[in-house]
A and B are shown apart, each in its own frame.
Chain A
Amino acid sequence: MAKPRVKVPEQAKIGDLIEIKTLINHVMETGQRKDPEGTVIARDIINTFVASFGGKEVFRATLQPGISANPYIAFFMRVPGPGDLELAWIEDSGKKTVEKIKLNVV
């Protein structure tokens, strides 16, 4: 998977409500399609997305094949203090892509 794109505010204060927008390149193959020879193309999706801050889970998404290719996920977080935002995308194969972002807390 290509490097995910994540957008967080440039800076935030403790107690601020911030929106975190994420996008990752992935085919999200549904397992419903067939190739020209009539063979079913195996399902291959990101089935789980987890966002944690300072090691504590904030938000989790369980995705099904009905989520579009290159899944976009946006959610909110109340800034508890300075720390790292850790985002993980987990595929059907078990492969995990992790992105760490240091939040600029002023």
Chain B
Amino acid sequence: MRLEVVDRRDFILGATAATALAALLATTSAGTAQDPPASLDEALKKIMGAAKPSEGKFLLELPEIAENGNTVPFTLTADSPMTEADHVKAMHIFAPANPQVDIATFQFTPASGKASASSRMRLAKTQDIVAVAALSDGKFLMAKRTVKVTIGGCGG
């Protein structure tokens, strides 16, 4: 049991170093093939332009503490009637402290019935996760939540 804990810690420390290196690499090789947004601000501007998002009616569910940064469950839910006239078109989720800021985009239709989607993401370290919902009327909702990513097995 004890051995297992040490192994895991070593693994995570190694993984953290690799992530840091990857972050460095990502910075130096910016502007290639996929062109992911370089920062949260750039990503948000691309989606919302100059529009100001409102808070509320949009929930970002995350664990408070993620013991394993390799798989952190999340659920995005917006309060919307999901009719032709009034629905959520898309939701975007960002991890600003990851090597690549954008995590996923979910696109909905009135046929969805409910504006909600769940998945699992990788988190390099403790950070504030940001989500944006784009509504059919051109408005935006924003939600933010801190996730503490544990390094090692002692809640640090």
Task: Decide: A74 near B117, CB < 8 A? Known: A30-B22, A32-B25, A33-B18.
Answer: yes
Interface size of B as a range = 35 or more
Question: Which residue of chain A lies nearest to B75 when distances are taken between CB atoms in the complex?
Answer: A74
B100 touching A67 by the CB < 8 A rule?
no
Pair A78/B111 contact, Cβ less than 8 Å: yes
**B contact face: mostly helix, strand, loop, or mixed:** mixed
Known: A32-B25, A59-B106, A66-B95. A77 touches B111 (CB 8 A): yes
Bound-state CA distance A61–B118 (Å) is 10
In chain B, what residue has the closest Cβ to A32? Answer: B22
CB distance from B62 to the nearest CB of A (A): 13
Query: In the complex, what distance in Å separates the CA atom of A58 from the CA atom of B21?
Result: 39
Partner of A64, one of B18, B73, B104, B113: B104
The tally of residues in A whose CB lies under 8 Å from a CB in B reads 30
Q: Which of B100-156 contact A (CB under 8 A)?
A: 100, 102-109, 111-114, 116-122
The 5 closest A-B pairs by CB, nearest first: A78-B113, A32-B22, A76-B114, A66-B103, A74-B118
For the A-B complex with A59-B112, A68-B72 known, give 18 more contacts whose Cβ atoms are closer than 8 Å: A32-B22, A32-B99, A33-B22, A58-B109, A59-B117, A61-B104, A61-B107, A62-B104, A62-B105, A62-B106, A64-B103, A67-B104, A68-B120, A68-B121, A74-B118, A75-B106, A75-B117, A76-B113
What are 11 A-B contacts defined by CB distance under 8 Å?
Answer: A17-B113, A30-B99, A32-B99, A64-B100, A67-B121, A68-B119, A68-B121, A72-B73, A72-B119, A72-B120, A73-B117
